Each structure stands twice: as C-alpha cells, then as structure tokens.
Amino acid sequence: MKVQILGTGCPKCLTLEANTRSAVAAEGIEATIEKITDIDEIMDMGVMITPALAIDGEVVSVGKVLNKDQVLALIKGAK
C-alpha cells in the first residue's frame, strides 16, 4: 500500500503527515508513506486545496487535517 500526503509543508500538512505516520505505525500496517510537495504534481492529482491524503494513487481526503483514527479508517477501507 502506498499512502501519499500532498502538501507544500504548511503546519496543517505536517500535522496530517504526523497523524498518518502514527496511524500506520500503531496498527503495524505495511505501507510506504510518501510526501508530495511539488505543486504541479499535487495539481495533476486533481487537488487544489491542501493538505490532502491519497491511498494507492486515489485521493481520499482534501483540505482536512485528519486525526489518527480518521486516517486509520480510510486506510482500512482501502484494503
């Protein structure tokens, strides 16, 4: 599984990244976590508002700072 955090490095993006890493680690999920900061790549994925979260290339959340449990629910739903 590939989990992508899309954002330019703002505090909200960093919080989403930390919550995502925490969720993956807490559940022992095998996932590659990638941070995408290039604005052109973010826009190519159809995202206009950050932070955003994508799982296996599919954007599942835009413009929200998800907490650990919300991230975990999205990851489990994508399995």
Q: Are strands 58-62 and 52-55 parallel, antiparallel or unpaired?
A: antiparallel
Q: Give residue 49's pLDDT.
A: 96
Catalytic residues: 10, 13
First to last CA, the chain: 8
Q: For every one of its 79 residues, what pLDDT tens digit does the chain have, with 9 covering 90 and above?
A: 999 999 999 999 999 999 999 999 999 999 999 999 999 999 999 999 999 999 999 999 999 999 999 999 999 988 6
pTM reported for the whole predicted model: 0.93
Residue 69, C-beta contacts closer than 8 angstroms, at least 6 positions apart? 23
Q: Which domain holds residue 69?
A: 2-78
Domain tally, the chain: 1
Q: Give residue 79's pLDDT.
A: 67
Q: Give residue 12's pLDDT.
A: 96
CATH number for the domain harbouring residue 64: 3.40.30.10
